[in-house]
Amino acid sequence: MASSSKRPRSGAPAAAEVAEAADAVAAAEVVEAVPHVRVAVIGAGFGGLGAAVRLRRAGITDFVVLERADSVGGTWRDNSYPGCACDVPSHLYSFSFAPNPEWPRSFSGQPDIRAYLEKVATVFRLRSHLRFNAEVLEARWESEHTRWRITTSAGEWTADAIVSASGPLADPQIPDLPGLGSFPGKVFHSSRWDHDYDLTGKRVAMVGTGASAAQIIPSIQPQVSELTVFQRTPAWVLPRRDREISQLEKWLHSRLPVTGKIRRGTLFALRELQVDAFVRRPGLLRVIQQLAERHIAQGVSDPVLRAKLMPDYRIGCKRILLSNTYYPALAAANTEVVSSGLRELRGSTLVAADGSEREVDAIVFGTGFHVTDMPIGARVFGANGTSLAEEWKDGMEALRGSTVHGFPNLFFVIGPNTGLGNSSMILMIESQLNYLIDALTTLGSIGAAAMQPTVRAQRQWNLELQHRMDRTVWTTGGCRSWYLDPSGKNTVLWPGSTSSFRRATRKVDLGEYELIMRAVPAAARAAQGVSA
């Protein structure tokens, strides 16, 4: 007698297979509940806001800007220490597409720059794209879906592409000093200034003599009882030609925008003329060094202190500081310059590398940032599951400062070797934004899902770049700067003019890239098998 059970027709899936495929489809639907955008931008400083404006102008409105803080501004939000200001002229330190005729001074302060960025966010209708208190904890490339999965402190997103605009001056670097954890007084970094702590009448130690310290020291010296400055390496300092911008100038720039463009163009040309001395003919900097020597002679009468403050390397090797008040503050009666680094702490006693000791109530670290080891690198995982930090263990490098092999559709703003030693970083940011927009529109026009540089293109670009670096003052000047990684390789600065970088990033060369087509998820393939 024939069995009453029926066998599936040939080629039809069994019930278990159908159920399994249905579960896979359901799981895929759950995954898709995570919000998806075409572009996720990390950071809401100059780079992130600039990227947002350019995306909107290119017709790409499906994006979010993920910001770990509660407002825009980036480094100009974080750095609110006394005296904080820009060392690039105001009319050059702004977007070309958002001129500001109301700059109050030729070198504007932090509050004015931050207000400018808030205005950019409002005028260009970026507020709806901003997601505050959303620190990126992990970004992982999903090859199966040809997209990035981004985990933040405010939830998850998926994105076709990521723009990393977290910036190199985002995460403070504090030295791991013996005894620091048990110091009984107040401790903070210049970029995390504690405005609730009153320095008046306190004994304060300033650790570091870089750009931030050169602004902090003159601001706090008059109010503290004692100021001890720990200096490992003295800096070259030039006069700061700062002044208030007149109402007539503001009126002209507002009513006749061409005057603002002329001013910006003049500032740009003057900075470009300086480039050759930094990158090809460091000997030309001798005239500038003589000006700096005269500046220190005028500001410091004590020959012993002047000797402590006189650098023994060529000007330009480290960042040149601009200040009219730095030397007088160091020469003040309540200031002591210790010409060695800080070695350790014993309670409230600070011990210098030379063994000398000072008692202090508070410590301010002006010790810079994680520049050559950007922390975002440990949170980004590429196509083979390797982190960017691991990829960069021998030194950061990218193709044209923008893209990295093994990390498809990851675009940097202020990436490796895009920093400047003499001009406005906004010029470099805008060049990288040109490159970003061209890449995204090119992908859309050819129907590809993603792109990554070839190993050969990335290697060749960086070999040529480092060869050019060998002639620069940053390599030949005889100093050790924060531009160099632990191996001595300069992975921070661009060894050329901003004009040459603009030409190098004007358009994407597809010959330097591998294109990745859209992948079909396994769940979708299973569903297709069921429906067949």
* CATH code (residue 44): 3.50.50.60
Same domain, 435 and 460: yes
Same domain, 351 and 399: no
Same domain, 332 and 270: yes
Structure confidence at residue 512 (pLDDT): 98
In terms of residue numbers, what domain contains 136?
33-171+371-519
Structure confidence at residue 12 (pLDDT): 42
Same domain, 409 and 484: yes
Same domain, 137 and 230: no
Same domain, 381 and 261: no
Whether residue 268 contacts residue 421, with contact meaning beta carbons closer than 8 Å, is answered with no
Tell me which of 332, 365, 398 is where a domain ends: 365
Give residue-wise pLDDT tens across range 223-252.
999 999 999 999 999 999 999 999 999 999
- The predicted model scores a pTM of 0.90
Report residue 65: phi and psi, to 5°.
-115, 115
pLDDT category at 421 given cuts 50, 70, 90 is confident
Average pLDDT over residues 328-348: 97
Tell me if 487 is assigned to some domain.
yes
Tell me which of 365, 399, 414 is where a domain ends: 365
Same domain, 185 and 167: no
Same domain, 123 and 206: no
Q: Phi-psi category of 11—alpha, beta or left, where left has phi over 0 and alpha has psi -120 to 50?
A: left
CA 421 to chain centre: 14
Same domain, 294 and 342: yes
Tell me which of 316, 340, 365 is where a domain ends: 365
Same domain, 38 and 152: yes
DSSP string, 68-109: SSSSS-THHHH---TT-B-SS-GGGSS-TTS--TT-SBSS-B
Tell me if 19 is assigned to some domain.
no
Average pLDDT over residues 339-361: 96
Same domain, 327 and 418: no
Q: Phi-psi category of 417—alpha, beta or left, where left has phi over 0 and alpha has psi -120 to 50?
A: left
Tell me if 5 is assigned to some domain.
no
Structure confidence at residue 525 (pLDDT): 54
Q: What is the count of structural domains for the chain?
A: 2
Tell me if 1 is assigned to some domain.
no
Same domain, 279 and 425: no
Tell me if 12 is assigned to some domain.
no
